[in-house]
Amino acid sequence: MRYLKYDEVKSNLLNELVMAKNKKIEVKGTEITILDQEGQKYISLTDMLKAKDGDFFISDWLRNRNTVEFLGIWESVYNPNFNYGEFAIIKSQAGLNSYKLSVKEWVSKTNAIGLKASTGRYGASYAHSDIAFEFGMWISAEFKVYLIKEFQRLKEEESNRLQLEWNFQRTLSKVNYHIHTDAIKENLIPETLDKNQISFIYANEADVLNMALFGKTAREWRDENPHKEGNIRDEATIEQLVVLSNLESINAVLI
């Protein structure tokens, strides 16, 4: 029995987590994996190769001079840590019959971010969507067009779903806000106070949560964003709204 080394176990676990977040699209009968990483979409070149007739490898694409120039330009625009010295060496050798380059070598030598190579059970080569579209032309012009079409459809579906999720969480936070204000009314407001004093107490309790979550009060946010409509909570992310709903519920209980 062979026991896995620590690095192998770690790599397999990370790959399992990656695959759980992946999405798939189908392009001309070929299933292609889309990796979502730090808000950027990376498309599996390994999957795309399955649609290519005949023997063709990613290294064949990488050894082409036009490919290397395109990758270098893309990295120069989006990657401040790109290694131009190593890139110059690679560019000078690109196109030679004896020249070969893998995705892993390209990334390690140039510190590139546009291509990624994963190892382990789900090992594959991925490219940022901008680069994957260019690689699609090497499969076929038709494949590239359908790849872009399916990718855009996926983005639209994600955008619509995120909007629905945001609306739901914003509505939930508003419902919990009323629970929060009811707790304030029943426990913190004496009958002797006037309307201005009562409004101050409500605002003060709301800003306790605003400070905890956003690091600023509603008025501070308004002073920083005089041209925006709505309030600080209308600009919150889905994650912040989830936390806000819970904070409102907990604070209502504490009050």
Which two three-digit tokens encode residue 201?
């107490």
Q: Between β-strands 30-37 and 124-128, what pairing exists: parallel, antiparallel or unpaired?
A: unpaired
Contact 97, 127 (CB under 8 A): no
6 pLDDT band, cuts 50/70/90, is very low
The pLDDT value recorded for residue 121 is 63
- Mean pLDDT of all residues belonging to the chain: 86
Which two three-digit tokens encode residue 122?
């789900």
What are the pLDDT digits (tens) for 161-193?
888 888 888 888 888 888 888 888 889 888 788
Pick the residue with more confidence: 144 or 157?
144
Largest CA distance in the chain: 90
Pick the residue with more confidence: 200 or 68?
68
CA nearest 130: which of 92, 91, 55, 79? Answer: 79
CA nearest 41: which of 151, 180, 162, 189? Answer: 151
95 pLDDT band, cuts 50/70/90, is confident
CA nearest 43: which of 130, 149, 160, 107? Answer: 130
On the question of pLDDT at 19 being above 60, the answer is no
Buried b (16+ CB within 10 A) or exposed e, 6-19: eeeeebeeebeebe
On the question of pLDDT at 15 being above 60, the answer is no
196 pLDDT band, cuts 50/70/90, is confident
Q: Between β-strands 23-27 and 30-37, what pairing exists: parallel, antiparallel or unpaired?
A: antiparallel
Buried b (16+ CB within 10 A) or exposed e, 215-236: eebbeebeeeeeeeeeebbeeb
Contact 176, 248 (CB under 8 A): yes
On the question of pLDDT at 117 being above 70, the answer is yes
Pick the residue with more confidence: 81 or 10?
81
The pLDDT value recorded for residue 175 is 86
List 116's β-bridge partners, or say none.
Answer: 126
The pLDDT value recorded for residue 161 is 81
What are the pLDDT digits (tens) for 21-56?
578 889 989 999 998 887 789 999 999 999 887 777
